């Protein structure tokens, strides 16, 4: 057998070429995987930063709004005539009377306590057992200068974190004659944010966490013993605290109104995990495709050396593989685009439902606020400041009620139900009639309302039941716009197990009773402000959340809606049922 002397050298050349191609291919795969990981991680962290900033802004607005509500209470108290009178030497008013007024303000706002001080810090009125003099904290010093002061501290005796509001009292002098101090427990303003998925905390000028939605973070230093690492162009924090993500993206925001800085730590582990999975998937895919191409190339080389016919077959197979790869890539790109469109459509749908629900549910409280504001202005013009103050207090109550309405809307949208409590149904009806009084008068509608002769206490929620009654009255009012005889009849029939509330009108009746509770079903013209068709649907869900039923039917004179609720059991203490609003007259014109 004759051996060619050049065969070993010829064998080494293809091997060297294959190793070179393999090294270049692995280098390209590594470069592509790193690039995909970096791009995916950077894009994911950018989106995470936007979501975290939105969560932080929501938590910050909630905290600032709560503190401003307390400050408004202190402002109203500082303008009270009894409080002003006690700060003057010749007032003649008893401190005990002012202490009771301050306690009522504190109870209304949900604060711990409220005090009246002299400019020197001596306590003029307040709860029993309080010190005779308070230290001159920064908020009190600012109030002595005629401005509103805010201060936060930890009470050494109880370890309780509190916010302190100090407002000057002016009694016909240019300089303050007294100082109203409102003390609020910090846990009350941070409680609504607990349980949020993103940890949020607020630090003061000393770098101490004073308010947080995680209890373990309270009164810790702002640095949190965290290690800062840089990944994908972002600086992340690595912590070992139980309530914080192991690796998170920190977002901060200054809150000059309350003198604090808000912080949020968005969990970045999911984003980095997704980027890692995408990079590994791409690397494995490229290695698989490269392996196939390398195998085909080797196979083609061997077959080309033996038979030209086999070489043509291999070329056809390679062309088919290339075409199939292009088709798969195009299909994958189409799937990605379709997925993005579906996600965007879902976002728009959720936003539309939320906007429609909020606009519809907040319409009545906003109307009430406008009515009370107009009344307050008229009372001031006629020289009735007490009546004007009463209307302003009602505006404050409406604002708090709007907050409760928003929480109820969120609970309804998520199919959550707050526990039902004892509610006086007659008081709810009369509160709804108060809200609708102006519209009823403007449309010339008479109301036949007769308060039941015995208490009608049901299981439900006061605000949500009020919304149901307002929706039923509003629908009846809209249905009778073009009717000559406009009359609404409201009756309550208490029972041992169930209590029924009926609202009847003299309108044209229900066109399609089987669809009256469907979302967005409305007989009003499309495009009108009240024509979204959500009122009865939301009312139906609210009544069901109390364990009751809502049904609509036609009568010979119009339409009737019946709300059937569970009758509340009498309390063991023997206290009278909650009928907080004085009864209306039999008929309102």
Q: What is the 3-state secondary structure (H, E, C) of 465-524?
A: HHHHHHHHHHHHHHHCCCCCCCEEEEEEECCCCEEEEEEEECCCCCCCHHHCCCCCCCCC
**Calpha distance 71→80 (Å, rounded):** 15
The number of residues in the chain equals 589
In the block, which residue shows the tokens 């000028």? 205
- What's phi and psi for 136, nearest 5 deg? -80, 85
**Calpha distance 98→258 (Å, rounded):** 29
Q: Which of 144, 170, 191, 2 is nearest to 81 (CA)?
A: 170
Contact of 74 with 83, CB cutoff 8 Å:
no
With a CB cutoff of 8 Å and minimum separation 6, the contacts of 468 are 539, 542, 543, 550, 563
**Calpha distance 465→478 (Å, rounded):** 20
Rg (the chain; Cα; Å): 35
Task: Give the largest Cα separation in the chain, rounded.
Answer: 134
**pTM of the predicted structure, to 2 decimals:** 0.44
With a CB cutoff of 8 Å and minimum separation 6, the contacts of 412 are 357, 538, 541, 542, 545
Looking at the DSSP bridge assignments, the partners of residue 447 are 488, 588
Q: Residue 399 corresponds to which tokens in the numbers above? A: 């604002």
**Calpha distance 586→589 (Å, rounded):** 10
Burial class of residue 69 in the structure, from the number of CB atoms within 10 Å of its CB (0-12 exposed, 13-18 middle, 19+ buried)? middle
Q: Which of 569, 567, 575 is nearest to 452 (CA)?
A: 567
Q: Which of 145, 143, 171 is nearest to 84 (CA)?
A: 171
Long-range contacts from 92-100, C-beta under 8 angstroms, 24+ separation:
95/124, 95/125, 96/125, 98/124, 98/125, 99/125, 99/126, 99/127, 99/128
DSSP state of 444: T
User: How many other CB atoms are found less than 10 A from the CB of residue 281?
Assistant: 12
Torsion of CA 174, 178, 184, 189, to 10 degrees: -10
Q: Which of 143, 147, 182 is nearest to 162 (CA)?
A: 182
Task: Give the Å distances, CA to CA, from 309 to 292, 297, 379.
Answer: 21, 16, 104
Contact of 86 with 124, CB cutoff 8 Å:
yes
Q: How far is CA 447 from the centre of its chain?
A: 37
In the block, which residue shows the tokens 């008229």? 378
Contact of 488 with 473, CB cutoff 8 Å:
yes
Each residue's pLDDT, cut to its tens digit, for the chain (589 residues) gives 444 444 444 456 667 777 887 788 888 888 888 888 888 878 888 888 888 888 888 888 888 888 888 888 888 888 888 888 888 866 678 888 888 888 898 888 888 889 888 888 888 888 887 778 888 888 888 888 888 888 888 887 788 888 888 999 887 767 888 889 998 888 888 777 777 788 888 888 888 888 888 877 888 887 776 677 777 667 787 777 777 787 888 888 888 888 889 888 888 888 878 878 888 888 888 888 888 887 887 787 787 778 877 778 888 888 899 999 998 988 888 865 653 353 334 334 334 434 544 565 567 778 888 888 888 888 888 888 888 898 888 888 888 767 655 654 454 344 435 678 899 999 889 888 877 777 788 889 999 998 998 888 999 888 788 888 888 998 888 888 888 899 999 999 999 999 999 999 998 888 888 888 777 666 665 444 455 566 788 888 889 888 899 999 999 989 999 999 999 887 764 444 444 333 333 333 3
With a CB cutoff of 8 Å and minimum separation 6, the contacts of 175 are 119, 146
Contact of 189 with 211, CB cutoff 8 Å:
yes
Looking at the DSSP bridge assignments, the partners of residue 181 are 115, 166
DSSP state of 133: B
With a CB cutoff of 8 Å and minimum separation 6, the contacts of 438 are 367, 371
Looking at the DSSP bridge assignments, the partners of residue 231 are 234
């Amino acid at each position: 057998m004759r051996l060619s002397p050049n065969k070993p050298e010829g064998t080494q050349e293809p091997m060297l070429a294959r190793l070179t191609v393999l090294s270049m291919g692995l280098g390209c795969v590594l470069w592509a995987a790193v690039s995909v990981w970096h791009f995916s991680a950077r894009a994911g962290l950018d989106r995470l930063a936007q979501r975290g900033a939105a969560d932080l802004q929501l938590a910050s607005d909630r905290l600032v709004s709560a503190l401003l509500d307390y400050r408004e209470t202190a402002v109203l108290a500082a303008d009270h005539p009894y409080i002003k009178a006690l700060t003057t030497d010749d007032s003649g008013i008893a401190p005990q009377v002012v202490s009771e007024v301050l306690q009522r303000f504190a109870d209304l706002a949900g604060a711990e306590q409220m005090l009246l001080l002299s400019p020197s810090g001596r306590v003029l009125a307040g709860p029993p057992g309080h010190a005779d003099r308070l230290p001159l904290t920064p908020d009190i010093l600012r109030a002595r200068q005629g401005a509103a002061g805010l201060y936060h501290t930890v009470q050494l005796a109880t370890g309780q974190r509190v916010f302190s509001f100090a407002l000057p009292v002016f009694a016909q002098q240019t300089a303050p004659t007294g100082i109203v101090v409102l003390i609020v427990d910090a846990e009350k303003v941070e409680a609504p944010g607990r349980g949020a998925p993103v940890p949020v905390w607020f630090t003061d000028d000393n770098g101490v966490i004073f308010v947080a939605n995680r209890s373990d973070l309270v009164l810790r230093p702002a640095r949190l013993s965290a290690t800062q690492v840089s990944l994908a162009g972002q600086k992340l924090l690595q912590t070992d605290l139980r309530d914080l993500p192991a690796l998170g993206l920190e977002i901060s925001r200054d809150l000059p109104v309350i003198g604090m800085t808000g912080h949020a730590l968005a969990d970045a582990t999911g984003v980095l995990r997704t980027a890692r999975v995408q990079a590994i998937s791409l690397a494995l895919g490229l290695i698989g495709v490269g392996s196939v191409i390398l195998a085909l190339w080797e196979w083609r080389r061997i077959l080309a050396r033996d038979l030209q016919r086999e070489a043509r077959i291999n070329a056809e197979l390679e062309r088919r593989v290339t075409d199939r790869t292009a088709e798969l890539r195009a299909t994958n790109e189409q799937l990605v685009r379709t997925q993005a469109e579906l996600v965007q459509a879902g976002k728009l749908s959720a936003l539309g439902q939320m906007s429609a629900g909020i606009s519809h549910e907040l319409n009545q409280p906003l109307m009430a606020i406008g009515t009370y504001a107009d009344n307050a202005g008229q009372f001031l013009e006629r020289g009735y400041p007490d009546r004007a103050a009463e209307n302003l207090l009602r505006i404050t109550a409406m604002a708090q009620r709007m907050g409760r309405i928003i929480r109820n809307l969120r609970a309804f949208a998520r199919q959550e139900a707050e526990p039902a409590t004892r509610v006086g149904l007659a008081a709810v009806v009369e509160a709804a009639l108060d809200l609708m009084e102006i519209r009823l008068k403007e449309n010339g509608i008479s109301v036949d309302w007769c308060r039941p002769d015995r208490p009608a206490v049901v299981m439900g929620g006061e605000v949500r039941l009020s919304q149901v009654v307002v929706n039923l009255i509003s629908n009846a009012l809209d249905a009778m716009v073009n009717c000559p005889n406009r009359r609404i009849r409201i009756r309550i029939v208490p029972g041992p197990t169930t209590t029924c509330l009926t609202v009847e009108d003299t309108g044209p009746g229900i066109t399609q009773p089987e669809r009256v509770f469907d979302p967005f079903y409305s007989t009003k013209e499309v495009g009108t402000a009240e024509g979204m068709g959500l009122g009865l649907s939301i009312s139906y869900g609210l009544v069901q959340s109390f364990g009751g039923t809502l049904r609509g039917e036609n009568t010979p004179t119009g339409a009737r809606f019946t709300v059937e609720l569970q009758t509340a059991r009498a309390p063991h203490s023997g206290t009278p049922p909650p009928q907080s609003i004085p009864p209306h007259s039999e008929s309102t014109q």
